Amino acid sequence: MADEFGHLPRGPRRIMKATVWSMQGLKAAWLHESSFRLEVCLFVVLAPLAAWLAETPVEGVLLVGSMLLVLSVELLNSAVEAVIARFGDEHHFMAGRAKDMGSAAVFVVMMNVLLVWGSILLPRLF
């Protein structure tokens, strides 16, 4: 229930509500976004590999964190696409630009994964 200023309550109830909303968002992404499902599957495979390959805790955090960043940006990209779809399927150049930019953001963080993994693991091979 909101207070006299329209704010939601603070404290544990607010944290619980925010957690429920976050879980709903993850469930929606899993059910409706094939890219998100693929990236989660890759994370499930690569996270244990990262823990095994990391020589220091910092390396492990970098390897796993770079993959978590991909999941985060994919969720944001999916949110942008959902909002655009809400307003209709007709083509509009601004909607197309927004979707392309969201896709580009995912691409950039995927390149970051390659950069991080490569910079940590390639020197060990050569």
Cβ-count burial 76-91 (b if 16+ within 10 Å, e if not): ebbebbeebeeeeeee
CA 54 to chain centroid, in Å, comes to 22
92 is in an annotated binding site: yes
32 is in an annotated binding site: no
4 is in an annotated binding site: no
The DSSP letter of residue 8 is P
Catalytic: 39?
Answer: no
3 is in an annotated binding site: no
97 is in an annotated binding site: no
Say which of 39, 55, 59, 74 is annotated catalytic: 74
State the Cα torsion 82-83-84-85 to the nearest 10°.
50
Give the catalytic positions in this structure.
74
Residues making up the annotated binding site for substrate are 14, 74, 103
Residues making up the annotated binding site for a divalent metal cation are 33, 81
